[in-house]
């Protein structure tokens, strides 16, 4: 390694040797070398310092260090190469109607603010091969349906939240809309993308819902609030009290019931006349008519 470096003109120390290498040109490539074990070459690293531009040869057999610094010597230089951060696979091809959820509160607020718009929550993991294979098709579907909001939930960053929402398989999807709340939830892969398309065709049509936007279910909100790993607070809705009837209505109903009961008892006291009684009265009338004729 030292022989290779000694033949190159890339490395330059802080001290110069102009008398031997005054005609060497400067190069834009910059790096650093660290020597250990009594001046012998041990390795190199990228540190920041000035670059002299003078050629240097590192000898394996000869030490050019002082007695105090023989065990460690660093020749500092700059590394001129730069590396751009490549986008992650779940960040490629994103449409304006696709974004990543940052917290539980962000998820709840996004669902409540969506109104009657269809919202699809996509639970994924960076290490999930099925999620990665399905991502390009989701981007295409999002581009074809700009009125639908796609929310991405990174399972690795929000494991505790996913656990509270009972999400244990990936990739996983949930559809929400307006006052209807959750419409459906399922898991599908690139091979079963038809399941996703069928759900999109069924719930993707525009509609107006009556009532406020529901979002997550009550039990899910309570589970998120009870999770100590999340900074999410939720106040349960007060239970609806049963309406107490008016006292006047109660008294009127009591009077009506008492009157009906009294009429029933009076009818029982005066029963209808029996057939024998009617017959005797008829006979008495006939006798009175016969005596009148005589």
Active site residues: 128, 131
CA atoms within 13 Å, Cβ hemisphere of 284: 6
Dihedral Cα 179, 183, 187, 189, nearest 10 deg: -100
User: Residue 89: which residues within 8 A CB-CB, separation 6 or more?
Assistant: 126, 132, 135
Report CA-CA distances (Å) from 155 to 63, 79, 94, 125.
Answer: 55, 37, 18, 5
Strand partners, 119: 149, 176
């Amino acid at each position: 390694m030292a022989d290779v470096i000694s033949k190159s003109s890339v490395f330059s120390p802080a001290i110069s040797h102009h008398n031997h290498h005054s005609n060497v040109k400067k190069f834009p490539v910059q790096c650093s070398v660290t020597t250990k074990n009594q001046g012998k070459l041990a390795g190199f690293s990228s540190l920041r310092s000035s670059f002299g531009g003078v050629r240097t040869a590192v000898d394996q057999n000869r030490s050019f260090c002082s007695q105090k610094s023989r065990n460690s010597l660093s020749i500092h230089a700059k590394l001129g190469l730069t590396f751009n951060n490549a986008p992650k696979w779940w960040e490629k091809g994103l449409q304006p109607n696709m974004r990543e959820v940052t917290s539980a509160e962000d998820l709840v607020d996004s669902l409540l603010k969506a109104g009657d718009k269809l919202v699809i929550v996509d639970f994924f993991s960076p290490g999930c091969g099925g999620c990665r294979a399905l991502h390009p098709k989701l981007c295409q579907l999002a581009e074809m349906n700009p009125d639908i909001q796609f929310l991405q939930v990174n399972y690795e960053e929000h494991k505790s939240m996913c656990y509270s929402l009972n999400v244990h398989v990936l990739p996983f999807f949930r559809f929400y809309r307006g006052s209807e709340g959750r419409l459906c939830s399922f898991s599908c892969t690139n091979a079963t993308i038809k399941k996703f398309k069928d759900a999109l065709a069924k719930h993707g049509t525009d509609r107006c819902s009556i009532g406020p936007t529901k979002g997550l279910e009550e039990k899910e909100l309570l589970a998120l609030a009870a999770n100590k790993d999340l900074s999410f607070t939720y106040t349960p809705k007060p239970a609806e009290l049963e309406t107490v009837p008016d006292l006047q209505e109660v008294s009127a109903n009591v009077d009506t019931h008492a009157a009906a009961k009294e009429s029933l008892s009076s009818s029982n006291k005066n029963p209808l006349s029996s057939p024998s009684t009617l017959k005797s009265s008829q006979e008495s009338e006939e006798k009175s008519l016969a005596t009148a004729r005589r």
